Homo-oligomer: A and B are copies of this chain.
Amino acid sequence: METNISQSRQQQQCIDKLLNAHGVNLTRQRRVIADTLFARDQHVTADKLFEAVNNNGAKVSKATVYNTLGLFVRKGLVREIFIDATRTFYDSNTSRHHHFYNVDTGDLIDMKERLAPHFIDQDLPDGTAMDMVDLVIRVKNKAP
């Protein structure tokens, strides 16, 4: 999981705008984390992100990685994916889409959104509103 050592000035401004637009105060650590996270669409665990961030000599504590991921989730910058009980994935792509999860390999792959919203809306429990659709298709390797 490599990331580019230094961000271009353009990219940095873009990240700053993104954080500001979501009401996140700027700090050195949040910038580095956002840089790494939004360099591309990815599914990453807190631990992997911690490694990736610090592989650039950035020096951000693990607690901050957790705090920041929590903050980003609350602000709608990333999305949590619960695949199993042992770790939480964070998806840097918050557009409407779903996932294939290969139970044999652990691969997590994006899937185009195809659910018609009204297919679900009419069935919502009384007094509730849709928060988020969470669809994971678990797949396994075909026997060769």
Contact = CB atoms under 8 A, between A and B. Distances in A.
Interface residues of A, number: 36
A137 B142 contact: no
Secondary structure at the A interface, as helix, strand, loop or mixed, is: strand
B128 A102 contact: yes
A142 B126 CA distance: 9
A142 B129 contact: yes
B123 A130 contact: no
A124 B138 contact: no
Interface string A105-144: 0010101101000011001110111111111111111100
20 contacts: A82-B83, A82-B85, A85-B87, A100-B123, A100-B128, A109-B125, A111-B123, A112-B123, A124-B139, A125-B139, A128-B141, A128-B142, A130-B137, A130-B138, A131-B138, A131-B139, A132-B137, A133-B135, A133-B137, A134-B137
